Amino acid sequence: MKVLEYTGLDTSRVKASYRKVADAIARNDFRAAQVKKLVNLSHGRFYRARLDDASRHR
């Protein structure tokens, strides 16, 4: 599976967590990546993954 990233996405503060999640997604291991499918989207399948609790609330 491919990971879609925003152009200019700054992952410097969560680099290790981001790499761990991206690697899990690439292996189709959604449980390890704590991935949830976003619903009610009409133009494809999109998912969100939690990197850590602190950066999630920003």
Token pair, residue 9, equals 């996405």
Token pair, residue 20, equals 């761990």
Say what the pTM is.
Answer: 0.64
DSSP 44: S
Task: Find residue 48's DSSP bridge partners.
Answer: 36
pLDDT tens string 31-58: 888 888 888 877 877 878 877 766 554 4
DSSP 20: H
Token pair, residue 50, equals 């939690």
Average pLDDT for 21-29? 87
What pLDDT score was predicted for residue 44? 77
pLDDT averaged over the chain? 80
pLDDT-derived band at 11, boundaries 50, 70, 90? confident
Q: Confirm if 33 and 21 have CB atoms less than 8 A apart.
A: yes
